Amino acid sequence: MSEERESTLIAAFGGWNDACQSATNALHHLIDSYDACEIRHINCDGYYDYQVSRPTLCRVNGKARIVWPQTSFYDVSCSPDQHLITLIGPEPNYHWREYCQKVLSIASELHVGSVITLGSMFADCTHTRPLPVGVCDDVDCDSDCDCGEYSGPVGITTVLEAMAREQRFAGTSIWVSVPQYMGNDDCPMGTLALLDALGHKLGIRFESSKLIRETREWQAKASMLTRCSNQLSDYVHQLEEDWDKAEQSKEASGSDPHKADQLVQEAEEFLKRF
């Protein structure tokens, strides 16, 4: 990897920011689909509560080995001239500011110029329609992003992105909403939506044939689950109607750029009569 080229760091964390593992699975997909090698890591000591993020026992060639939670950085070669740095690990339990500072220090060593965080959350959305994706950066937000209106608890992704901007890294967050009625199983549809948004942001077309196939299988499973419950079926139907109405509203205003302003003006004129 060229030391003079400005790299992009893509970060995802398991836990609170990772509904259905959609965000971390996006990075696992990149690591598995392209030439990738681990280039840095952050040791777990001091950052994790082992009763929450437990070490695991695995066997390599018949020998038992304890694997401790840690944050790993990978160099992912998407093509001969396109490299990404990915960061993946559990959300730390302690010392977030120190942890984020260590991440950004490593990012500086790797000549990173921009930091992109991925996240996923449960929401009222349905498997039969495109999943909502919000993209927000330090320049502007897209029309589907609510980041400017949100107030409340945040995860490590928000803290890392805020500290990155303070240190003059370009910062972007990409979030996908996944159906809460599907439980906490993996959601390949959410992972695919994140990778599509990330690829659009970076101008890269990621390999996704496996994810497309898994998404179809996941949607079929979700449809079968829906058919088994009248209550769930009614709920999904209502979500579909809400989504369709919102799309129709967007199309109506998009077909005439002055239509939304005209509606506001007409409403104001009507109210002046009273």
Contact assessment for residue 159 and residue 100, using Cβ atoms and an 8 Å cutoff: yes
Query: According to the model, what pLDDT value does residue 140 have?
Result: 46
pLDDT for position 256: 58
- Dump pLDDT digits (tens) for 29-63: 999 999 999 999 998 888 999 888 888 998 888 88
pLDDT at residue 271, as a whole number: 45
CA neighbor of 114 nearest in space, from 171, 157, 161: 171
CB 112 within 8 A of CB 8: yes
pLDDT digits (tens, 9 = 90+) for 112-140: 999 999 999 999 999 999 999 999 886 44
How much is the pTM? Answer: 0.85
d(CA 99, CA 97): 5
pLDDT value for 2: 42
The residues pairing with 84 across neighbouring beta strands, listed in sequence order, are 76
pLDDT band at 212, cuts 50/70/90? very high
